[in-house]
Chain A
Amino acid sequence: GAGVSQSPRYKVAKRGQDVALRCDPISGHVSLFWYQQALGQGPEFLTYFQNEAQLDKSGLPSDRFFAERPEGSVSTLKIQRTQQEDSAVYLCASSSYGEATRNTIYFGEGSWLTVV
């Protein structure tokens, strides 16, 4: 597709369940970001990849959160033993160059996670 694609769009998980969220960036985009957005808040940075290298994971809230991009294209954000405070929209974004700060980043529609 032409844009950033995320799946699933909506996920309801029971507390303690593991979830995996997938991001398919725009083809050829080098940079990939994951953000977490709680209701009424701006997107909070989680992690950043340049190709397959995870250059920054400082925003991951705990060791229950893990992200990978093994072949430098599709990325997966995994949340283990989900808790209610993990309920949020998880946004994936990509950008064409390594210096993503100088170029537009494009967002997917997000994966809406509700932990019950």
Chain B
Amino acid sequence: RKEVEQDPGPFNVPEGATVAFNCTYSNSASQSFFWYRQDCRKEPKLLMSVYSSGNEDGRFTAQLNRASQYISLLIRDSKLSDSATYLCVDAFYSSASKIIFGSGTRLSIRP
């Protein structure tokens, strides 16, 4: 089983829709999680951190479910500019930092 698993999509939704995707992780000791966004042929960029209590940033909401070992990303009122690949990141600290990316979920917003 991969350490971080995501539904590759693509998710194809109309502008204005709400879309959500999950990411599961296998390491129960993991402490920090992030969502990164990657546009075509560009580098990944941090979208938001994922806190235990959940967090919201404008139209984006991230949540963590430790019992079931998954994190989620919800996008409300989706815009054309939200079309991208969303990468789930599991970062766990031991003697050395190890930051593991999922394979990404492709999202396409249609007019």
Contact = CB atoms under 8 A, between A and B. Distances in A.
A102 to B, nearest CB: 6
Contacts of A99: 93, 97
B13 interface: no
Give the size range of A's interface with the partner: 20 to 34
Which size bracket describes the interface of B in this complex? 20 to 34
A109 B43 contact: yes
A56 B93 contact: no
B91 A101 contact: yes
B107 interface: no
Nearest to A56: B96
Given A101-B97, A104-B34, A109-B43, 15 more contacts: A40-B103, A41-B103, A42-B102, A44-B101, A45-B98, A45-B99, A45-B101, A55-B97, A56-B96, A101-B32, A101-B98, A101-B99, A102-B32, A102-B91, A102-B93
Interface of A: 31, 33, 35, 40-45, 48, 50, 55-56, 91, 95, 98-102, 104-110
